[in-house]
Every structure is written in C-alpha cells, then in structure tokens.
Structure 1
Amino acid sequence: VFDALLGAAIVVPGVVIGISTLVALVQLFTVVNPFLASIWPDDQPPRLALGYGSIIAAHGLFSMALVTMIVGTRLGSLDRNLVEASSDLYATPLTTFRSIVLPQIMPAVVAGFLLAFTFSFDDFIIAFFVAGAQTTLPIYVFASIRRGVTPEINAIATIVLVASVLLVVLAQWQLRQRKPSN
C-alpha cells in the first residue's frame, strides 16, 4: 500500500498537487491564524500566509515521494550481514548507522536530493499556486516570456545552462578520479 501511494504521488499531475496544496494551506491558515491571535500577548500576532514558507512546504511534500522511493530502494538492497556484524561487535545503533548504513545509502540520498532539487527548481505549476505574492525564478521567467523574450531572460537561461554543464563536467571528472587505474 505504501509503495502504491508513493507511486501515485509521483504520477499525479502538478496542477492537482498545486491546487490541493493550496486548498490545504488555506484551510490550515484559517484554523491557525485565529488560534495565534487568541494566544498572542500583544495586538499584532504573526499571520501565516502564502509565501516562501508555503513554497518550501509544497515542494518538500512534492519531492518527498521521489526521495523516499529512491532511498527506500537502496535500503532494500542494503547488506544486512554488515549491520548484524556491527551489532555482534557491540556497536551502538548510532555508530552502526554512521559507519555501515550511511555510506551504503549515501549515493541514493545524493541522487534523491539532486532529483528533488531539479524538479523543484524547474517546477512552475506548484510554485504558481502556493506562492502568494512571492515570485520564484520559474514564475518570473514565465511572466517575462509572456511579454517577450528579453536579454535578461536570455542571461538567466545562459547562467542556468552554464551552471548545469559545469556540474556535469565536475561530476564526470570526479567519477574518473574515483575509478581505479589498471
């Protein structure tokens, strides 16, 4: 059931996720804001509203299913004999996790982070629904392109492209450094 829910969360269209997250956040704010007003000591209680916090929360929820699938798959292929050997040698659970489990799952954690970052960086739909008055880069680019492609948009695209190419070249260089020479 858990795997089916994770798979469903990945294949649900972004519009559905954006609208449902917007509705959930608005309902949450209508409950929490009066509560904060009732317990706050002075006349100006903080008000929760759509903004960067809601964008981070929505993208965190959106990315959680993807990262959970990637890391869960790696945990499924974890060598449990090493964990048992660590326990037999009286290692604490924290030491076992830090010395045995984490090194084995770190590639999956990094891959999950990179995919989540890439999807969030590229996502327009969810950010558009939950941003409120805030503007993210995809929203800014989309709004600017509707008025025509400007040199500013070309510069942003060039910076993103160059950064992406540099990261790929750096990753390839790191992989070649790691390979044992014959």
Structure 2
Amino acid sequence: MVQKHELIDDIAEVLFTEKQIAAMVERVGQEISRDYKDKNLLLVSVLKGSIVFMADLMRSINIHARIDFMATSSYGSGMKTSGVVKIVKDLDIDLEGYDILIVEDILDSGKTLSYLLEIIRSRNPKSIQLCTLFDKPERREVDVDVNYIGAKIPDEFIVGYGLDFDEKYRNLPFVGILDPKVYS
C-alpha cells in the first residue's frame, strides 16, 4: 500500500512499493555480505541519487564495510545524460588495497559508470565491482558489467527513493513512473 503523498498526482504508475524496495535491498545486502566476507569492502556511493539506497543497503550488510561518497554531474535538469561527466565531489579515502563496490541508483546509458570505473581503476584498488538498484538495459550505450542488481526496469522515467527529476521527487518513499505531463 502506497501512503498518500502530496506528489502522487505527478506519478503515472507506482513501479515499486516501499515493501518491494526493502526486499530488493535486503536481498542485495545478503549477496554482498556473502561475497565480500573476509574482504576489505569499501562502498562508494555515487551522489545524489544513490544516497537513500546506500543508507538502506549498508544497514543490510552484516560484515565490516567502510563508506565514501563521490558526486558526479552529467544530467543537468534534462531527462537524458549529456554524455559529459564531471566529478563534483571526489573520494576522501585512498583506494589502494580496498575491494571497491560502487553503489548506484540507476544504470541506463552506462556512460557515467564507465567513466568512474576508469578513474577508480587508476587508483589501484584490490578489486572493483558495481551495484545498482535499477538497471535499464534498453538504454545501454556503453558496455558495463554489473555484479548486483535490485531490479531490471523498462525504459521509463522513474522517480522516488532518491531518484529525481530536476532535483524533485527524491523524497518519495516508493519508485514511480513520472507522468509525462510533468516534463513535457
């Protein structure tokens, strides 16, 4: 059941409820806990979109893990990536010797993650893997291997649970398809 929310009128369809998202996050957290047991795990959250997922994910991981944050910009206020990625906030931790898990909210074109992988590889971590809450394979322009996926989704414009349109809707507790009237 989706709670009444002031922004619900802008949502064409609820794709995932709070309960469904929680189950996805718990499943992914258990997989990570199993696979990273006895490793030097560093979760790298790609801000801003992944902050809600990262907060819930790290609480579902039951092994030692450090966290750090990186912010990139490639969208501006549009609906599609500009293709130009810039680092707005870099990591604080020296990555050498860490088993890095990049945590993303959504993977669509793959351009941003491909760029981040190059940068992080150059910093000599022990390993690098990718985790995304949502995978939109129909939009892929760059081949990116993802190790942990919450759910594959259709090519729709989604918001909520950290995902935004023009910095709005991140605070929705569910994930919904944004009504085209909002961005047309």
Normalising by structure 2, we get a TM-score of: 0.23
More strand by percentage:
2
More helix by percentage:
1
